[in-house]
Amino acid sequence: MSNELSEPAIDLLCDLVRRRSITPDDAGCQALLAARLARLGFTCETLQFNDVTNLWARFGDTSPVLCFAGHTDVVPPGDETQWSTDPFEPTFKAGVLYGRGSADMKSGLAAMIVAIEEFLEAHADFTGSIAMLITSDEEGRARDGTLRVMDALADRDERIDWCVLGEPSSQDVLGDIVRIGRRGSLSGMLKVNGVQGHVAYPHLADNPIRAFAPVLAELHEIVWDDGNEYFPPTSFQVLDVRAGIGAPNVTPGELSARFNFRYSTEWTHDSLQEKVHAVFDAHDIDYELDWHLSGKPFLTEPGVLINAVHQAVVEHTGSAPELSTGGGTSDGRFISPAGVDVVELGPVNASIHKIDEHVRVKDVIALTGMYRRIMELMLL
């Protein structure tokens, strides 16, 4: 055993990294976690949806419910020969543990389990319940994971009040960034209809590029918003525009385009769509527009949860965390709509999804202490 430190969170992390849980395969990770939780008196429920395994575990039956959430699945290692060590054999070098999932996010899970064990051992009496919501489909399509578990909980009127996600939120040092929300992501798939024709006889054709160009210019000129206290300004980006049939003397009969909004809480997906349609409708253009919403924006307002997380970080690091809504989407987008305050606090994310993914051993131990402190501050 290469772990000379023999810290409980590190031992558990090693056991998790050894399980080759590439999305959506849980590879026995959740059984391992459930066994630990069941020993503490948690009621553990496996919720299997298609090929995705989810775990809902709860200790106590009163409110408020503090839920720790995360995922056991990892992204594939890529070309394993490029790794300095076996991605599924945890390896220690100079106080750092290497392995796929070590940062995203098996260290978060290990720290949560050990923090809960330590908390329950120290405090027989506390207010409310502790829960864990774990999925094996965060890195994949995310259709049969956290979203379905939240639906199942809603169906039986079981609610979560506060949620701590163990995603790797930190940038340079542990606890420097805490995520308190995420921007929304809304995509538009556009088709502009025209009439194909000879380039020399434009009056007999209807060129969709000419019709779309002024609309595109106008969409680019709009200042969607200036952001707000917690969100950067909404951004509109065009990803793809295509038309033309490849011949030098034919104007196209059709144009397709794809664009995306990363949007702040100043908008809803409905109000954004209405605005875009209004721009199109003000022009002489024959178009079809399909929308795909991959995540609504969410924000946890300052309150009990953010205060507790803030204090736990300050006590361990001596510095106040930056409260951020940056980054891509996370499973917080499925939890927050149920009226849950969601905060993401986890290890440094510099190596996630990369070759030689790693986490500092010291950080996993400190993170365990932070999670335990959050429970003390909120449940005692």
CB 297 within 8 A of CB 183: yes
Give the residue with the Cβ less far from Zn ion, 134 or 190.
Answer: 134
**Tokens read off for 137:** 């489909």
The reply to whether 276 sits near Zn ion by the rule CB under 5 A is no
Nearest distance, CB of residue 75 and Zn ion, angstroms: 9
Instruction: Out of 26, 117, 137, 138, pick the active-site residue.
Output: 138
Let me know if 151 is a catalytic residue: no
The reply to whether 104 sits near Zn ion by the rule CB under 5 A is yes
Give the residue with the Cβ less far from Zn ion, 28 or 327.
Answer: 327
Instruction: Out of 26, 73, 117, 137, pick the active-site residue.
Output: 73
Q: Using CB atoms, what's the residue nearest to Zn ion?
A: 104
Phi and psi at 363, nearest 5°, equal: -70, -40
**Do the strands 287-295 and 184-193 form a parallel or antiparallel pair, or are they unpaired?**
antiparallel
Nearest distance, CB of residue 104 and Zn ion, angstroms: 4
Nearest distance, CB of residue 275 and Zn ion, angstroms: 33
Nearest distance, CB of residue 2 and Zn ion, angstroms: 25
* Binding flags for Zn ion, 169-188, as an x/- string (CB under 5 A): --------------------
Query: Judged by CB under 5 A, which stretch of 47-55, 76-84, 98-106, 250-258 contacts Zn ion?
Result: 98-106
Nearest distance, CB of residue 240 and Zn ion, angstroms: 27
CA distance 337 to 342: 10
A 10 A CB-CB count for 222 gives 12
**Tokens read off for 218:** 């106008």
Query: Judged by CB under 5 A, which stretch of 58-66, 165-173, 212-220, 287-295 contacts Zn ion?
Result: 165-173
Give the residue with the Cβ less far from Zn ion, 64 or 327.
Answer: 327
Query: Judged by CB under 5 A, which stretch of 31-39, 72-80, 86-94, 99-107 contacts Zn ion?
Result: 99-107
CA distance 243 to 207: 10
* Residues in CB range of 125: below 8 A, 6 or more apart: none
CA distance 114 to 322: 26
Give the residue with the Cβ less far from Zn ion, 188 or 332.
Answer: 332
Let me know if 7 is a catalytic residue: no
CA distance 79 to 86: 11
Give the residue with the Cβ less far from Zn ion, 144 or 167.
Answer: 167
Q: How many residues bind Zn ion (CB under 5 A)?
A: 3
Give the residue with the Cβ less far from Zn ion, 104 or 341.
Answer: 104
* Residues in CB range of 237: below 8 A, 6 or more apart: 259, 260, 261, 262
CA dihedral 153, 148, 375, 57 (to 10 degrees): 70
Measured at the CA of 220, the angle between CA 217 and CA 224, to 5 degrees, comes to: 140
Nearest distance, CB of residue 115 and Zn ion, angstroms: 18
Judged by CB under 5 A, the residue of 105, 299, 306, 370 near Zn ion is 105
Question: In this structure, is the dihedral angle defined by the CA atoms of residues 10, 12, 14 and 17, taken in order, positive or negative?
Answer: negative
**Do the strands 235-243 and 358-360 form a parallel or antiparallel pair, or are they unpaired?**
unpaired
Residues with catalytic function: 73, 138
Q: Residues interacting with Zn ion, by CB under 5 A?
A: 104-105, 167
